Amino acid sequence: MKNRRRRLEEEHEEHIDESWLIPYADILTLLLALFIVLFASSVVDKQKFMSIMESFKSELTGTKIESTNTGLSVKPSDVAKSDQAAKEQQQAPAAAVEPKEDQELLDLKSRIEKYIADNQLQADVSLQETKRGVEITFKEVILFDPGRADLKESSYHTLDAIIGLINTVPNPVSIEGHTDNVPIRSSRYPSNWELSSSRAVSVLHYFEGKNIARERLQFIGYGEYKPLYPNDSAEHKQANRRVNIVILRNI
C-alpha cells in the first residue's frame, strides 16, 4: 500500500499544471495581430488603415462589423470607380473651357464670313475652320504686287476690319506666307522663302501697329513648299500665292 501511495504521489508531482499556456497563447496572438496592424498601417492608405482597425476591433471585442465592404483591402471595382471619379474631376475644368473657346471661334468665323460677304471679297478672301483654328486666306493680289512684299494701300481697309474682329478673342495669331514654284529673280529676295517670309512679316508689323499684342503674333515663310494645287496652270499658281492668317486654338 505504501509503495502504491508513493507511486501515485510521484505521478501527481510529475504532472505539471499547463493552464497558463492558454492566456500566454492569447497574448502572443494579440501581439502578432498588433504587429500586423502596425506593419499594414505603414504601407496602406487611410481607407485601408481604417478597414484594418475595424477588423481588429471586431476580433478583440467580438462585435459585428456592419459594413460588408470593411476589410483588409478595397475591392478592385471600388478602386476603379475612385480612379475614374478622380479623372473626371481633373478633366472637368478643361471640358468647361473648351466649349466656350470653340464657341468664341465659331462666332468669330461667322462675323468674318459676314464681312467677306458684305464686302464681296469671296473671290480674294476665303475662310475655313481647321483643327488649328480659324484660317483666313488672302490671295496675293489683294495684299501685294507681284514679286514685292510691301502691303498695297488698298489692302489696309480689309486688314483693319479683320484686325477689329481678331481683337474680339485673345487667341494667338499665326501669319503664314506662300508662293508658287516660279523662282524669284531679285537681289532682295534670293529665294521664295525670303519672299514668303517678308510678306508674312509685313502683315505682322501692320497688325502690331494696330495694337495687336506682340506676344500673340508669329510668322512663317513656307515658300513654294505647301501649295494648295499643283503649279501646272496660271490659275493654280495664283491660288498658291497667298497669305494665311490663322487664329489658333489655345493649347
pLDDT of residue 44: 53
> What is the Cα–Cα distance from 178 to 199, expressed in whole angstroms?
9
Q: Which residue numbers in the chain have pLDDT < 50?
A: 68, 70-73, 94-97
Report the residue count for the chain.
251
Residue linked to cell 499544471: 17
pLDDT of residue 95: 44
The answer to whether 70 and 51 are in contact (CB under 8 A) is yes
User: Which CA distances in Å does 66 have to 51, 56, 102?
Assistant: 12, 14, 50
Domain locations in the chain as residue ranges:
2-74, 102-248
Cell of 8: 501515485
112-128 confidence digits (pLDDT tens): 999 999 989 888 999 99
Architecture of domain 102-248: 2-Layer Sandwich (3.30)
160-194 confidence digits (pLDDT tens): 999 999 999 999 999 999 999 999 988 899 999 99
The answer to whether 189 and 202 are in contact (CB under 8 A) is no
